[in-house]
């Protein structure tokens, strides 16, 4: 690990080939809903996918869109494209037809590889997009389009990789676009393995003997590292699941496949912990769990540890940086913080004038590291605003606290100034979630009669639980500085979320 990446480099050749060279051809690489697939099987599928794309007339540097549920077809198509020098664009599988129309037009994808259950969202677009020449369906019924299984069966099982460079464009991911249109985030061939060498091996401690399961899907930057890059980098076995990650679906995989590493998000951990079906400790083989996507409330960390004996490692990554760049470590977890910088990444916290803030003060987090995307496709102003020389702006507020840990303070645009003092919605939310009746909540700014911004909380209670607004206000006052308590508490059945599960606070601000 950690060796220099050569100039002539193909990410798919490295991630698949290293396992064959290490003698893992017969080891199970993936377990999906259809069965088990060895590293030799994966290698052959990748080659067949590369040949199939070339046979369709797709050329190097052209783009194809992938809208695939998590199964062996995703790594086969994703890595097959990369091996052929074609650029896969992974699409969120939870979006709407207008979203897909925007992304297919923006990327000028020559082909779409789509899971059969997702095809209906694309049908209204077929024939409307001049660049989209081929639709390939993963499933049984292509509905007049090409079938992936047919193309793979016809394609040769050997493929000479395209002579790509480490700095060539490798793949795109669309940022979730909690504000404005999604942005095509462009990554290079070198970026995938670097996330494994900098985070997965030294921080997470992934090893060949691990069985990994990610609730976050492969189309997310988080899930792509969790379930593709990291396990392939070390020769681990990965469990993939096509369905939505409900607590019961997750429990089934963790217990049946004896997963040793589980990757989740705070909202899911909260739902798992209130489920009556949470498995007994002895039914699990977990040795480590990770959390990302939003700040992990200390209460959830504590309760998960009590139930499983496993420490959740809270971290932060982004589509722009590809994976986690601040993380807690096994044996060094500081609740209420995101941990320390991942080796290989530099961090700085700046005020609104661009000056570094003092320890203990809130500032905007910027990151410098070797996995930063090179641009947002066809969005020059947004690119210049986010990618500033070696530094990438995160849009997150952080404080450097004692011991070198970073504590999350909310999004730059979510921060509240209450009585002239910054209040972090995340801090108020963590205090609310520590009440036993609260399942999840979101805190936004709301103007009072004097047009002064104060915190307003939207609260989802646990099934069957009861609490009053006054009780929750008092609970927050007992935990935080008085001015931070929510002046309004509204009980709701659910919170508005993006397709990637992030709370859309802007929808609550109205």
Task: For residue range 283-312, list pLDDT tens digits in order.
Answer: 999 999 999 988 888 999 999 999 999 999
Mean pLDDT value of segment 448-468: 90
Can you tell me the distance from the alpha carbon of 55 to that of 324, in angstroms, rounded to the nearest whole number?
A: 37
Tokens at 215, concatenated: 């609730």
Residue 502 pLDDT greater than 50, yes or no: yes
Angular region, 389: left φ>0, alpha ψ -120 to 50, beta rest: left
Give the pLDDT score at 2.
52
Q: What is the pLDDT of residues 319-332, one digit of tens each?
A: 999 999 999 999 99
Mean pLDDT across the stretch 158-176? 95
Please state the pTM of the whole predicted model. Answer: 0.88
More confident residue, 411 or 86: 86
Tell me, what's the pLDDT at 178? 43
Say if residue 177's pLDDT is above 60: no
User: What is the pLDDT of the chain when averaged over all its residues?
Assistant: 94
CA-based nearest residue to 195, from 395, 11, 37: 11
Beta strands 169-174 and 184-188, pairing class: antiparallel
**pLDDT of the residue at 416:** 80
What mean pLDDT is predicted for residues 477-492? 91
Tell me the sheet residues that pair with 405.
401
pLDDT, mean of residues 93-98:
88
1 confidence band (pLDDT: 50, 70, 90): very low
- Above 60 in pLDDT, residue 358? yes
pLDDT in tens, 245-298: 999 999 999 999 999 999 999 889 989 999 999 999 999 999 999 999 888 889
Phi-psi region of 299 (alpha: psi -120 to 50; beta: other; left: phi over 0): alpha
What percent of the chain has a predicted confidence (pLDDT) above 70?
98
Q: What is the mean pLDDT of residues 208-215?
A: 98
Least confident range from 39-43, 399-403, 476-480: namely 476-480
Cβ-Cβ contacts under 8 Å for 407 (sequence gap 6 or more): 336, 337, 338, 398, 399, 400, 401
Give residue 95's pLDDT band: very low, low, confident or very high (50, 70, 90). confident
pLDDT at 180 over 60: no
pLDDT band at 393 (very low <50, low <70, confident <90, very high): very high
User: Both ends of the chain: CA-CA distance in Å?
Assistant: 50
Pairwise pLDDT comparison (498 vs 225), residue with the higher score: 225
- Structural domains present in the chain: 11-26+38-190 (3.40.50.980), 191-345+370-375+382-389 (3.40.50.12780), 416-508 (3.30.300.30)
What's the pLDDT at 3? Answer: 67
**Average pLDDT of the segment spanning 66-89:** 98
Looking at residue 9, its pLDDT comes to 98
**Residues 346 and 369: beta-carbon distance below 8 Å:** yes
Only one residue has tokens 């044996």, namely: 331
């Amino acid at each position: 690990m950690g060796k220099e990446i050569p100039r002539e480099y193909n990410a798919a050749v490295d991630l698949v080939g290293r396992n064959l060279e290490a003698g893992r051809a017969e080891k199970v690489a993936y377990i999906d809903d259809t069965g088990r697939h060895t590293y030799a099987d994966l290698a052959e599928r990748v080659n067949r996918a590369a040949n199939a794309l070339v046979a369709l007339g797709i050329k190097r540097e052209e783009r194809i869109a992938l809208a695939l549920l998590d199964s062996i077809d995703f790594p086969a198509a994703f890595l097959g494209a990369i091996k052929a020098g074609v650029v896969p664009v992974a699409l969120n599988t939870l979006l709407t037809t207008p979203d897909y129309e925007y992304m297919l037009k923006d990327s000028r994808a020559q082909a779409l590889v789509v899971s059969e259950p997702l095809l209906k969202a694309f049908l209204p677009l077929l024939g409307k997009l001049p660049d989209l020449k081929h639709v390939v369906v993963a499933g049984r019924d292509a509905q007049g389009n090409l079938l992936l299984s047919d193309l793979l069966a016809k394609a040769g099982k050997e493929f000479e990789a395209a002579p790509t460079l480490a700095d060539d464009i490798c793949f795109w991911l669309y940022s979730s676009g909690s504000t404005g249109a999604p942005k095509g985030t462009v990554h290079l061939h070198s970026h995938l393995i670097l996330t494994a060498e900098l985070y997965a091996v030294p921080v997470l401690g992934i090893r060949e003997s691990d069985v990994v399961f990610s609730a976050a899907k492969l189309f997310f930057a988080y899930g792509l590292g969790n379930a593709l890059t990291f396990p392939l980098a070390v020769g681990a076995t990965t469990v993939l699941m096509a369905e939505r990650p409900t607590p019961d679906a997750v429990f089934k995989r963790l217990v049946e496949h004896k997963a040793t590493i589980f990757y989740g998000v705070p909202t899911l951990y909260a739902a798992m912990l209130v489920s009556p079906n949470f498995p007994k400790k002895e039914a699990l083989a977990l040795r480590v769990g990770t959390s990302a996507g939003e700040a992990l409330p200390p209460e959830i960390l504590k309760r998960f540890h009590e139930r499983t004996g496993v420490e959740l490692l809270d971290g932060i990554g982004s589509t722009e940086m590809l994976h986690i760049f601040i993380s807690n470590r096994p044996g060094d977890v500081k609740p209420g913080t995101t941990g320390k910088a991942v080796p290989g990444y530099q961090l700085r916290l700046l005020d609104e004038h661009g000056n570094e803030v003092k320890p203990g003060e809130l500032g905007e987090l910027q990151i410098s590291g070797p996995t930063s995307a090179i641009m947002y496709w066809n969005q020059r102003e947004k690119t210049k605003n986010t990618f500033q020389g070696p530094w990438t702006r995160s849009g997150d507020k952080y404080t450097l606290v004692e011991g070198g840990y970073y504590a999350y303070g909310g999004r730059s645009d979510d921060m509240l100034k209450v009585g002239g003092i910054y209040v972090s919605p995340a801090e108020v939310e963590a205090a609310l979630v520590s009440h036993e009746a609260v399942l999840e909540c979101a805190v936004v700014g709301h103007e009072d009669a004097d047009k002064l911004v104060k915190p307003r909380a939207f609260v989802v209670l646990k099934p069957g639980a009861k609490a009053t607004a006054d009780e929750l206000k008092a609970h927050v006052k007992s935990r935080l500085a008085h001015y931070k308590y929510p002046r309004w508490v509204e009980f709701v059945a659910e919170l508005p979320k993006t397709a990637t599960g992030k709370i859309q606070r802007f929808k609550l601000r109205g």
